[in-house]
Chains A and B, each alone.
Chain A
Amino acid sequence: MGANDPQAAGKPATKRQFRIWRGDENGGDLQDYTVEVNEGEVVLDVIHRLQATDAPDLACRWNCKAGKCGSCSMEINGKPKLSCMTRMSTFTEDETITVTPLRTFPIIRDLVTDVSFNYEKARETPAFAPPPGVAPGDYRMQQIDVERSQEFRKCIECFLCQNVCHVVRDHEENKTAFSGPRYFIRAAELDMHPLDARNDRKEYAQAEQGLGFCNITKCCTEVCPEHIKITDNGIIPMKERVVDRKYDPLVWLGSKIFRRGQVPQTSVTSGHSSGAVHSSGGAGGQHSHAGGSHDPQAELQAQKGVNWHREVPHPTAPAVDDRGKLPLTELTFDRAAAPSPFGDDVTFPLPPEHLNFAHPDQDKH
């Protein structure tokens, strides 16, 4: 290794100073390391070298090393970044590089945080509502109608935007009422979707997601590694759509005169006043259409209007033990790993007759 390494082409390796936060929920501090850096490396490479040399117990989450999985989010010199996309060449040789975990989420250990806040918010966001009477396979959309939504599909869920947003970063108490930029662009994506059947997404974004907390300071856009224009193309259009329903004088007058654009109260917004509403733990379940809510009514609602061309088995939750948990210990579990989300009795590839997709022209049932 080092300068004499025949594989190290170009510049010789240098020694760099790193300060890395080590600790867990009981506390921790920044620890100094001196580590070798070769040409062309990124911060994640250096962290891996540290794991191989000075700090074998350094915890760090990573996966693809290509800026596409969104796992290696951390704060490098105070800026939220993907460590696999932060080149060492952007620092000077005498610079001490400080690496800390994401500050907004609870710490697990070292550089690993518990980002489940984001998954809770994802589960609360109502899923795509299929247009009634149109069978899957019959969906037809024009490119200009879907291209706005497609920008938001680039999201890799690294949660850097969720981490940098001062609404929750500086105010833990706002976490219940505020979903964060990632879920505002999800709401915008679905509200702009040409075939989405829900017409209460604006009200939902304002009343349940806490869109009003956002004060447009654009840090989410600044840190997005996918360069999604979160604020300009997602949050502001969503805010303007809320204004349509709640604040625009001309639209209000038009709706009074022509009696159009009026939205009936739905389960999403009924029973809540305007403004930020703290979603309680129990209320979260009713928004989940992802199959995890264990609420038969919600599941039926999610399936409503979908013509699958056949009888679809109702999604059922896996069996739990008497503590209400999945039996997941290695000693007592009868399988080698966690249960399949598709059901342990399902093997792939599925027989074609079990597929939920049926082509409207070729598969006449």
Chain B
Amino acid sequence: MTAPSATTPTTRPGGARPRAAIAARTLRTDRWWLQPLIIAAILLFFIVYSTIRIFMAKWYYVEDYHYLTPLYSPCISTECVPGSAHFGTPLGDFPFFIPLGIIAFPIVAGFRVTCYYYRKAGYRSLWASPPACAVNEPHKSYSGETRFPLFVMNWHRYFFYLAALILLVNIYDAVLAFRGPDGNFGVGLGTLIILVNIVALAGYTASCHACRHVMGGRLKHFSKNPVRYRLWTFVSKLNVRHGTFAMTSLFTVILTDFYVMALSAGWFDDLRFIN
């Protein structure tokens, strides 16, 4: 509020004064609904696909070429097929309703749900809050991320730390995939797909806004922290492409998983380049 002596129109009596009486929800003439529709279709497809795959509990490992799908890594149950448990089986048996990817999936799902890019994508396309800029949202009230459950979005950094660990596991899996059936060095199409997936995941994780903040964004004096300033500058450059990495890595995860599933189920054979 202004001081009592100010003579701006603010001091006019009365509460909220009327806005321009325009009935239309939006006067935009472009196809503003197209982008959220496409994003919603992609996100829903991924949610359905990954849910089915998580509970499928088969066709996640190709023993000959040591391909493990990222959705089941790390596999740490005694039920994991031989060779797929790269980190042993410390947790023993899982009851039937707990999926084998129980360690990684909540982390990477949480990382993506709380991600600043996916928040934009999800709020716009799945929750229509707002569906597009300057288009009225259908909700009667709005409290944003100020209260439960949505203030949980602020925990993005927890998920970032954990997702960085999962990324290391995925890199380890990718290194193991450079082997042929005889255990010696080997490269196939699957190895390359897994490698591309790792690059996309690493780009997505490293370009994250929480990563940018942790690297140096929280500093007040860059000049006193030259190394962190350089790290921040590097992550800032990646960060501009965060949305691209987010969507690319979504597709590479699906592609990798589908390829491993197809090989494991015997739908087609891996194209081997070396061994």
Contacts and interface: CB of A to CB of B under 8 A. Distances in A.
B134 A240 contact: no
Interface in A151-172: 164, 166-167, 169-172
B129 A213 contact: no
B136 to A, nearest CB: 5
Given A215-B145, A239-B154, A244 B218 contact: yes
A94 interface: no
Contact of B229 (A27, A144, A192, A249): A144
Interface stretch (B51-59, B170-178, B190-198, B219-227): B219-227
B91 interface: no
B2 interface: yes
A132 B134 CA distance: 44
Interface of A is mostly: mixed
Nearest to A319: B5
Nearest to B142: A171
A240 B221 contact: no
A275 B229 contact: no
A210 interface: yes
A131 to B, nearest CB: 12
A281 B15 CA distance: 12
Interface string B142-184: 1111110011011111100100000000000000000000000
Interface stretch (B20-28, B250-258, B262-270): B20-28
A100 to B, nearest CB: 6
A213 B120 contact: no
B218 to A, nearest CB: 6
Contacts of B9: 108, 114, 116
Nearest to B150: A215
B123 A237 contact: no
Contact of A293 (B3, B18, B133): B3
Given A107-B18, A212-B145, A145 B27 contact: no
A16 B164 CA distance: 57
B3 A79 contact: no
Interface in B223-238: 223, 229
A282 B4 CA distance: 11
Nearest to B25: A78
B16 A172 contact: yes
Contacts of B218: 240-241, 244
B149 to A, nearest CB: 13
Given A145-B221, A223-B133, A106 B19 contact: yes
B31 interface: no
Contact of B133 (A100, A222, A232): A222
27 contacts: A28-B20, A78-B27, A95-B29, A100-B27, A101-B20, A106-B16, A120-B1, A120-B2, A166-B142, A167-B144, A210-B144, A212-B144, A213-B143, A215-B150, A236-B209, A239-B154, A241-B218, A243-B157, A247-B154, A247-B155, A247-B157, A275-B146, A294-B3, A294-B4, A317-B5, A324-B5, A325-B5
Given A144-B223, A219-B130, A240-B217, 5 more contacts: A75-B27, A103-B20, A120-B10, A219-B134, A246-B154
Interface of A: 21, 23, 25, 27-30, 75, 77-80, 95, 98, 100-101, 103-108, 113-114, 116, 119-120, 123, 142, 144-145, 164, 166-167, 169-175, 191-194, 210, 212-219, 222-223, 231-232, 236-237, 239-244, 246-250, 275-276, 281-282, 284-285, 288, 292-294, 317-318, 320, 324-326, 328
